[in-house]
Amino acid sequence: MRDRTFVLLCVFCGVVVGAAGTWFAFPGGERADPDILFQVSTIGTLMEGGFGGVTPFGEITKHGDFGIGTFDHLDGEMVALDGKYFQVTSDGAVRAVRDEMTAPFATVTFFETDMTISLARADNFTDFCRQAEVFLPSKDQIYAVKIRGEFPSVRARSVPPQEEPYPRLVDAVRNQSVFVFEKTRGTVVGFWFPGAFEGLNVPGFHLHYITDDRKAGGHVLDFSLENATIEIDITPRFLVTLTPAGGNLSALSGAGRGELEKVEQSG
C-alpha cells in the first residue's frame, strides 16, 4: 500500500478531516489560495522528536512565498520571504534552499497585507507581544506577521542536525547555537496562533529573523525594535498535511505549555 498524506482543513471554527493519495494539486500550475495557511506536520510531532524530513521544498513553495520551518534532521531554521527560501544553519551561515531538501515541519502562505501597524519601539519580545496583540482584530484567528524595521538587538538561534534515534525537541535545543545581532536592519517573519491550536502550532507569536543583507538570522529568542512597520495577513483557512509515518494525531494534545516556552524562548 502506498503512503497516504492525511489532510486537516480548518475553516474558521469548522473542522473537516479527509485523506488523499496525493498532495493537493492546483490546475494549470496556479498558485494556492492566498487565504490558506499551509503546514507540514504539527508542532506536537516536532516536540516529540519527529525530525525526519517528509515534504520536499519543491512542493512547499507551491503553497507560499512567506513562512518559517525547519529541515530534515532539524538542520537549521527556515525563513521564507518575498518568495525566496533560506536556511540558517547552526554555524550562522545563510543558504538558499534547494527544491530537493525536505522539511519535517513548516508553515507557509502567500502573504497579502490586510492591515499595517506602526510601532515606535519595543524593548523586548514580551513588550512587543503586549503592544502588537492589542491590534489583532480577534484572538480566535490566525495571522501571518511581517515586521520590518531597525533592531537594536536580536537574540536568535539555530539547532545543529540531530541523529536518530531523535531526542525530544526540548533536549535537542540544549545544543543550540545562539547568535546576538546588534544594530541591524531586517525582517521578522512568522505567525500568531490562538491558544486553541496548541499541539498543532505554537500559541501566540512564533518568529524567525533575517537581516536585509541575507547574511544572518535564525529563530527569534528575543529582540528589541525601533521604527517598525508590522504587516498582518489574516489567514482564515488552515491546511495541515500529516506525515505518512503517523504520530501526528497522538501529539495534538501537545507538550506542556512550560516545555514549549522553553523551546521557543530559552537561550
Q: What pLDDT, in 10s, does the model give residues 219-256?
A: 999 999 999 999 999 999 999 998 765 555 555 554 55
The pLDDT, as a whole number, for residue 22 is 30
pLDDT-derived band at 31 (thresholds 50, 70, 90) equals low
Take residue 87 and report the three cell numbers written for it.
536556511
Percent pLDDT > 70 in the chain is 82
Q: What is the dihedral of CA 189, 195, 196, 202, to 10 degrees?
A: 40
pLDDT at 267 over 90: no
* Amino acid identity at 192: W
Looking at per-residue pLDDT, the higher value among 81 and 25 belongs to 81
SS3 189: strand
The pLDDT, as a whole number, for residue 80 is 98
CA distances to 36, 75, 125, 256 from 53, rounded to whole Å, are 22, 10, 30, 24
Take residue 48 and report the three cell numbers written for it.
516529540
The pLDDT, as a whole number, for residue 11 is 36
Topology (CATH level 3) of domain 115-235: 60s Ribosomal Protein L30; Chain: A; (3.30.1330)
Domain 5-109 part of CATH 3.30.1330.80: yes
pLDDT tens figures, 123-176: 999 999 999 999 999 999 999 999 999 999 999 999 999 999 999 999 999 999
CA distances to 87, 107, 116, 145, 185 from 223, rounded to whole Å, are 20, 22, 20, 15, 12
Rounded mean pLDDT of the chain?
Answer: 87
Take residue 9 and report the three cell numbers written for it.
482543513
> What gap in Å lies between CA 46 and CA 70, rounded to an integer?
10
pLDDT at 21 over 70: no
pLDDT at 59 over 90: yes
In the chain, where the domains are located: 5-109, 115-235
Indicate if 115-235 has the same CATH topology as 5-109. Answer: yes
pLDDT tens figures, 98-125: 999 999 999 999 999 999 999 999 999 9
> What gap in Å lies between CA 32 and CA 37, rounded to an integer?
10
pLDDT at 30 over 60: no
